[in-house]
Copies of this chain bind each other. A is one copy, B any other.
Amino acid sequence: MSGTTPSEVRPAGILGLSTFLIHKLGAELRRRVAEELVGMGLGPRHHRALLFLATRGPAAQKDISLATDLDPSNVVGVIDDLDRQGLVVRRRDTTDRRRNVIEITDTGRVVLAQGDEAVGRVEEAALRALEPAERDQLYGFLYRMVVSLDLIKPAPNRVKEG
């Protein structure tokens, strides 16, 4: 039960691959998140876009693409949907008229809060088997993996002074 026992024995075959477990977890989590969000007219990708916009402020579609792991060609439709529901506003950047500036609305923030709760429930269910310290460890491992695979830039700007 303790973390110091080296007796973590992996089953032979497919279940012994971390890759497979991540695949399986990813698929199940996506399924559950989608199920939780469907009631509020959102898909997982809409929630990701809203969350990004709420955290980072107004952003170009290119930025959304990079941050949310969405192809630029697919960002179009996601923002279309959110725009149609009044959850974001899309306007041309006055200084660079190639760009759209996307901004979350007050309604968008309300819906996002509901979405966050829904996603939080899924995350809580997924992490239920782990103690709080282990959850942080897991997050740290995942974060380092994602960084080492060059999937995100090493660190956001938030720095806590000394």
Residue ranges of A at the interface with B (Cβ–Cβ < 8 Å): 3, 6, 8-15, 17-30, 33, 44, 48, 51-52, 54-56, 67-69, 119, 122-123, 125-130, 134-149, 151-152, 155-156, 158, 160
From B12, B20, B30, B144, give the contact of A23 (CB < 8 A): B30
Number of copies of chain A assembled together: 2
Q: Take A14-B52, A56-B13, A122-B19 as given contacts and tell me if A8 and B145 are in contact as well, using a CB distance cutoff of 8 Å.
A: no
From B11, B68, B126, B151, give the contact of A156 (CB < 8 A): B11
Chain B residues with CB under 8 A of A55: 12-14
Find out whether the CB atom of B137 lies under 8 angstroms from the CB atom of A137. yes
Find out whether the CB atom of B18 lies under 8 angstroms from the CB atom of A160. no
18 contacting pairs across A/B (C-beta < 8 A)? A8-B139, A9-B160, A13-B55, A14-B51, A14-B52, A15-B156, A17-B119, A17-B123, A19-B33, A19-B126, A21-B139, A22-B142, A25-B151, A125-B149, A127-B145, A128-B148, A130-B141, A134-B141
